[in-house]
Amino acid sequence: MKFYKITHDRPSCIGCGSCEYEAPKFWKLDEEDGLSTLIGGKSDERYTTLEIDEMDYEENKNACDNCPVNVIRIDEMK
């Protein structure tokens, strides 16, 4: 089984909601600031990360591909 790491640059998010539309199990718009939040992710000062397996890859890849400001990255873990 393959595993992936999602990285979200939240401060650069514009809150368009395309990620939530593509992968609502993993993304939601925050009611306070209107930016996307990676559900269950671990955050540092700038980035939020979450590890997923290949079963959740496709919907998150769609979220990544449809982000108009390219603040979502998905990398295969080795």
Distance CA 64, CA 31 (A): 21
Structural domains in the chain, CATH included, are: 3-76 (3.30.70.20)
pTM of the model: 0.94
Reading the chain (78 residues) residue by residue, the pLDDT tens digits are 999 999 999 999 999 999 999 999 999 999 999 999 999 999 998 999 999 999 999 999 999 999 999 999 999 998
